[in-house]
Structure 1
């Protein structure tokens, strides 16, 4: 079975491929579909998605809800983990620490980044995550903690 990264690389090379991959990824975990994410980039140690500001992700004051932002951060982290985790290992999120820094009053760009050394040192792997507006204002920042272990045979 091809890896998620293989599928991304093949699909993103096609016209409308990133849009189609975004739909595919949104269906992989149904709660990702609720934020209507668009996958911008996926590679080892880096992933980026965009959450469009739509009524379905807004809170009572008309900004992107904090939990929708966290959903986007987790989606970005999942792409990073799929692209980075060795094929003989598995990853599981074990916690998320975030701070809400500003109102999310527009589309959010959710980014996940990790350091190669952290994956080598495992099994605890921190992934830095941020959600930012198009002007660069960071609205949510934090760390998602992964547990990376060898697969049982």
Structure 2
């Protein structure tokens, strides 16, 4: 993996930990930085520069009135996956910003949800090499039956940080 920013460098340090504790420490570190993610107990299964996979257990604190994962929690899951995909690539001198989100609920979900956000090589190059821009990150959300239950598109922008 290319360690092009602080997020990559931080995650690389966790690789030195014993395997059984790495996932917990990754979740803890990101949850402390992005507090809402920690509060919801999102689990980071995979974090690479071209794909991020996150899961959300169907626990009481994220449920709606019928015992499913609340729509807002599902949206957080999609936003987290797409934001981390951008975050894995954005240089330290740039600031990522959510510009637009579209979430289409296509089927009632069962149990835990999993979101996978992917970026193409061209999108990665654009994020890394342009001072300002935007990218549409598609996110596939499945439930415990592995069927797609939500289609999400997140448009992330970035700008240079002010000095």
Q: Same fold (TM over 0.5)?
A: yes
User: Separation in 1 of the partners of 2:61 and 2:94?
Assistant: 36
Q: Is the 8 A contact 1:43 1:84 kept in 2?
A: no
Q: 2:52 aligns with which of 31, 47, 50?
A: 47
Which residue is equivalent to 1:14?
17
TM-score (norm 1): 0.88
Secondary structure (helix, strand or coil) at the match of 1:27 reads helix
Which residue is equivalent to 1:131?
141
Deviation at 1:81, TM superposition (A): 1.5
Aligned pair count reads 152
Could you tell me which runs of 5 or more consecutive residues in structure 2 were left unpaired when the two chains were aligned: none
User: Separation in 1 of the partners of 2:121 and 2:26?
Assistant: 26
Report Cα offsets for 1:83-130 as digits up to 9, x if no partner: 111333322111101100112221111111122323527612111112
Q: 2:83 aligns with which of 72, 78, 85?
A: 78
Could you tell me which runs of 5 or more consecutive residues in structure 1 were left unpaired when the two chains were aligned: none
What is the root-mean-square deviation in Å for CA atoms of aligned residues? Answer: 1.9
Which residue is equivalent to 1:98?
103
Which residue is equivalent to 1:4?
7
User: Separation in 2 of the partners of 1:98 and 1:51?
Assistant: 16
Secondary structure (helix, strand or coil) at the match of 2:37 reads helix
Deviation at 1:13, TM superposition (A): 4.6
Q: 1:145 aligns with which of 133, 155, 163?
A: 155
